[in-house]
Amino acid sequence: MNVLMIHGIGQEGSTKDELLQKWTESLHAVQPGLLAGASVEMAYYGTTLADWTNRKTKVAVGMGAESTAVDIGDADELKFLSAVMEEFAGDHDIDEAQISAAIEESGNIAVPMDNFIARRLVGLMRVVEKISPLKGALLLRLVRQGHTYLSSPKAAKAVDDIVRPYLKRSPQILITHSLGTVIAFKLLREMEAVSAGVQVPLLITMGSPLGLDAFKAKLGVPRRKAAFVQKWENFYDPSDFVALGKPLTKENFAEGIGNDGTVDNTTPNAHGIVGYLPHKGVIEVLRQALSQIPS
């Protein structure tokens, strides 16, 4: 059986082999030999996407060492980042008074006074930072790569050209995390549109931002489970700072997706892959899929 792993945002500091080892060891620590006999690959795009994201002119937006560089001249990027932060604020009962106070506190230090969107983004992030130190900057930094992938055709092509060839193996189990879930969904949708003859017995998504309004708007329609995907299981921690604890239900994304929100991800941001892979639900659906289909 072929097993393809697609990593998430912010992995430019790791190599393909390092990620493959980390993912495999995380699974085998709970279920020794789970992937024994399987042909396992990691679709690694980390440095490619980071290079595209960091090409723009940058201005630091944040607090101290955790400041995040954004292009305040890119209105589309600012709106995308702000939309994610606004959704976070709404989910965490952050009110306008708190945001306004944070904007006032920032003064004219971070961004020019006449750039309202950027100033509001600063305010939003600083309120988040007060609630959970270091996590606002983390969310902003990671979501920037998501925006680059979804908004730059050249960046998307560079990433897709790396991942797409792996997806053509069949049958194949897909294990995806973070932005990797977005890349997998987008490419599987494209493959379905051209009637690609592939078989995906199981698609696992973890910590997926697919349920966020900003991501859904960029992806557009249709939103559905590809016909050749036999089973799609989504896992999330309600406190995940990147996925914002959003399930992929019929109301929030598409029907036909199983959702497990019982994950207790113990990594600092509740988003790390080593906090998702050992979850009993992930292990069980993988075990079932690997045992039912001959290698």
What string of DSSP letters covers the chain? -EEEEE--SS-TTS-HHHHHHHHHHHHHTTSTTTTTTSEEEEE--HHHHHHHHTTS--EEESSGGG-EEE-TT-HHHHHHHHHHHHHHHHHTT--HHHHHHHHHHHTTTSS-TT-HHHHHHHHHHHHHHHHSTTHHHHHHHHHHHHHHHHH-HHHHHHHHHHHHHHHTSSSEEEEEETHHHHHHHHHHHHHHHTT----BSEEEEES-GGGSHHHHHHH-S--S--TTB--EEEE--TT-TTTTT----TTTT-SS-EEE------STTS--GGGTTT-HHHHHHHHHHHHHS--
- The reported pLDDT for the residue numbered 57 is 37
Among the residue ranges 1-15, 29-43, 98-112, 140-154, the one predicted with the least confidence is 98-112
Cα–Cα distance for residue pair 29/226, rounded to 1 Å: 32
Q: What is the pLDDT averaged over residues 18-31?
A: 97
Give one word for 125, left, alpha or beta, with left for phi > 0 and alpha for psi -120 to 50.
alpha
Cα–Cα distance for residue pair 246/235, rounded to 1 Å: 10
pTM (predicted TM-score): 0.85
> Has residue 127 got a pLDDT over 80?
no
Among the residue ranges 17-21, 196-200, 261-265, 275-279, the one predicted with the least confidence is 196-200
> Has residue 144 got a pLDDT over 90?
no
- The reported pLDDT for the residue numbered 67 is 44
Please report which confidence band the pLDDT of residue 88 belongs to, taking 50, 70 and 90 as the band edges. confident
For residues 113-125, one letter each, b for 16 or more C-beta atoms within 10 angstroms of the residue's C-beta and e for the rest, the string is: eebeebbbbbbbb
Q: What is the pLDDT averaged over residues 218-226?
A: 95
Cα–Cα distance for residue pair 122/73, rounded to 1 Å: 15
Closest C-alpha among 117, 128, 129, 134 to residue 87: 128
How high does pLDDT run on average in the chain? 86
Closest C-alpha among 42, 66, 56, 32 to residue 135: 66
Sign of the C-alpha dihedral computed for residues 266, 267, 272 and 275 taken in this order: negative
> Has residue 221 got a pLDDT over 50?
yes
Selected residue with higher pLDDT from 61 and 141:
141
| Amino acid in position 224 | R
First CA to last CA across the chain, in angstroms?
4
Selected residue with higher pLDDT from 164 and 103:
164
Retrieve residue 20's tokens: 């493959």
Crossing angle (nearest 10°) for helices 75-91 and 116-131: 40
Question: In the Cβ-directed half-sphere of 290, how many Cα atoms lie within 13 Å?
Answer: 21
Please report which confidence band the pLDDT of residue 42 belongs to, taking 50, 70 and 90 as the band edges. very high
Q: What is the pLDDT averaged over residues 276-294?
A: 92
- The reported pLDDT for the residue numbered 166 is 96
- The reported pLDDT for the residue numbered 136 is 65
Contacts of 291 (CB under 8 A, 6+ apart): none
Q: What is the pLDDT averaged over residues 116-132?
A: 71
- The reported pLDDT for the residue numbered 63 is 40
Residue with tokens 């079932």: 288
Question: In the Cβ-directed half-sphere of 72, how many Cα atoms lie within 13 Å?
Answer: 19
Q: Which of 82-91, 121-130, 153-162 has the highest mean pLDDT?
A: 153-162
Q: Is 119 in contact with 109 (CB distance < 8 Å)?
A: no
- The reported pLDDT for the residue numbered 91 is 78
Cα–Cα distance for residue pair 29/153, rounded to 1 Å: 39
Please report which confidence band the pLDDT of residue 158 belongs to, taking 50, 70 and 90 as the band edges. very high
Among the residue ranges 12-21, 133-142, 200-209, 217-226, the one predicted with the least confidence is 133-142
